[in-house]
Amino acid sequence: MVKALTFKGDKKPKKRKRTGGASGKADDDDNRQLKTAKPSTEADADADADADDDSWVSADVTADISGPIMFVLPTEPPTALACDAIGKVFTLQIENIIDNNPITAEPHDVRQVWVANRIVGTEHFRFKGHHGKYLSCDKIGLFSATSEAITPLESFSVIPTADTPGTFQIQTLRDTFLSVRASRSSKANASPEVRGDETEITFDTTLRIRMQARYKPKLKASKEEKAREKISRAELEAAVGRRLDEDEVKRLKRARREGDYHEAVLDLKVKGKHDKYG
């Protein structure tokens, strides 16, 4: 189930308490059950925590890019690619940032968030705005987010920048790049403009992509590996059906990491029978 986006500083909603009558008694019973219901293992607890991991990290390679993301543009001060409810695409200054360092940026406004997905059967990406419409770039380089369907205009390549690790180029299918430039508006402090008609890779086309940690493959794999390692001695002894010495416990924990846990348990069960009747 997709959860609503949350941002730093958001207050957690307080749950209402119900009182009175049969419904109040039922609520008390439910609350008692919730208090006594605990995760069956530490791994279950970790899985619950991972599902609620709303922290933001930087995408390092194209394969990382998935789920809610934020495009951090090369402007001073840093801005993010954003869109409003009618599909207008613009740059919006980032407020959740430390010392204007792009690798610390997090969205403070849902308009800065896009959902990235790879288009099935291709190496291209689509980016859906908060209002459910897709980012698009027309033939003259104007961006919008008004389309509900995917065409070549809504398809983009994400290319790692060769000489700047951790940064990317967003390329249209016409081989032009997303770029930012100073606004041509006569208004003071006008926001930078975003275009999609740049034909060469430059500083103005080089951006960073921030994403929610729970969707980053490397972090997910690391957490899954840690979850596999976390099992108590009592659980291992219950699985084998007898007390285990330290070497046997280490062997089983290693087997959980390496993927042959069930075979190792079976070996120890057989060994236990031989020791008993031998």
Res 41 pLDDT > 50: no
Which of helix, strand or coil describes residue 140? coil
What is the Cα–Cα distance from 25 to 3, expressed in whole angstroms?
Answer: 30
Share of the chain above pLDDT 70, in %: 73
Pairing, β 114-118 against β 89-93: unpaired
C-alpha distances in Å from residue 25, one per residue of 16, 36, 57, 179, 217:
15, 17, 45, 61, 45
Which tens digit of pLDDT belongs to each residue from 185-214? 767 678 999 999 999 999 999 999 999 999
Per-chain mean pLDDT for the chain: 82
Q: What is the mean pLDDT of residues 248-260?
A: 81
Stated pTM of the model: 0.65
Strands (E), the chain: 56-58, 67-73, 79-83, 89-93, 114-118, 125-128, 134-137, 143-147, 156-160, 168-172, 177-181, 193-198, 208-212
Which pLDDT score is estimated for 36?
Answer: 40
C-alpha distances in Å from residue 49, one per residue of 53, 173, 220, 229:
6, 39, 12, 16
Which of helix, strand or coil describes residue 88? strand
Q: Facing residues of 91 across strands?
A: 81
Q: What is the mean pLDDT of residues 127-135?
A: 97
Q: Whose CA is closest to 89, among 33, 46, 130?
A: 130
User: Comparing 208 with 267, which gets the higher pLDDT?
Assistant: 208
Res 48 pLDDT > 80: no
Q: What is the distance of C-alpha 191 from the center of its chain? A: 28
